[in-house]
Amino acid sequence: MTKRPLVKTPQHVAIIMDGNRRWAASRGFGPVDGHRVAAEETIEPVIERAIERGIKYLTFWAFSTENRNRDKVELAGLFRVFRHALKTKIKKLAEKGVKIRLIGDINWFPKDIAKRVMQIVSLTKDNNTITVSFALNYGGRDEILRAVKGLFKEVEVGRIKIEKLTELDFEKHLDTKGIPDPELIIRTGGETRLSGYLPWQSVYSELYFTEVLFPDFTPREFDKALFDYQKRDRRFGKGKFRSYKKRKKSISTLVHQYTRH
């Protein structure tokens, strides 16, 4: 696979995979078919394009804490999709050097799914082509609450003094420990909110919203988001006034070079 790194490459891209059910409904399919297509046809090509672009971390929100409230028939279908993906797609990714990580509380899932996920995390821990995290039973508030509980335990046993608590101390208890915050968060499906996705980690993330439903989110659509990111001027509150007067260089030639693939 030939790598084509970007001029300004985000280390970490996080994706909210929205629109699976609407995609299925618009085609007269069942409620789980959109999730199946996403798992079997959409995710792997996006990961491959991320590798080509030199991205080192990719995080997919696959199942939220709120998704637990869906009807039992749909949940049973989702579990079948997860089981099939764990047997086939995840194995292929591991063979390509992908390191698989988990964010969220996997213990809610059926025991066989939870066990297999943790096995894959362990088996791929030394892979280094790219780190792909799947957010399963993930909610931003839930993650922060779990982190606070973990931090309280350290305070109780005297490992940390509350008056000396730092952001780094807190981050050590987040699901994303050891992973840089996402520079870019993409949401497919047309909604323009984060819905609790990575609330601590996203404070300076660039946001990209697209009407494209996730099963139709091709590598070309991924490129559109990446090249939109190229245009962003990330100052983190430190920008100088004279920088506003500078004329930005056009990247139209560069965009054409990469998006024609």
**In the chain, where are the structural domains located?**
12-259
Does the reported pTM lie above 0.85? Answer: yes
Sequence-separated (6 or more) residues with CB below 8 Å from residue 5: 53, 54
Per-residue model confidence (pLDDT) at position 239: 64
Active site residue 223: no
The pair phi, psi for residue 171, each rounded to 5°, is -60, -25
Asked if 135 and 182 touch (Cβ cutoff 8 Å), the reply is no
Active site residue 137: no
Per-residue model confidence (pLDDT) at position 235: 73
pLDDT tens digits for 24-80? 999 999 999 999 999 999 999 999 999 999 999 999 999 999 999 999 999 999 999
- Cα–Cα distance measured from residue 134 to residue 125, given in angstroms and rounded to the nearest whole number: 14
Kindly name the residue from 33, 67, 127, 128 that is annotated as catalytic.
67
Strand stretches in the chain, DSSP E = 12-16, 57-64, 98-103, 130-138, 184-187, 206-209
Of residues 31, 33, 34, 30, the one with CA closest to residue 20: 34
Is residue 11 within a helix (H) or strand (E), and if so which, with residue range? none
pLDDT tens digits for 82-108? 999 999 988 889 989 999 999 999 999
Q: Which CATH code is given to the segment(s) 12-259?
A: 3.40.1180.10
- Cα–Cα distance measured from residue 237 to residue 229, given in angstroms and rounded to the nearest whole number: 18
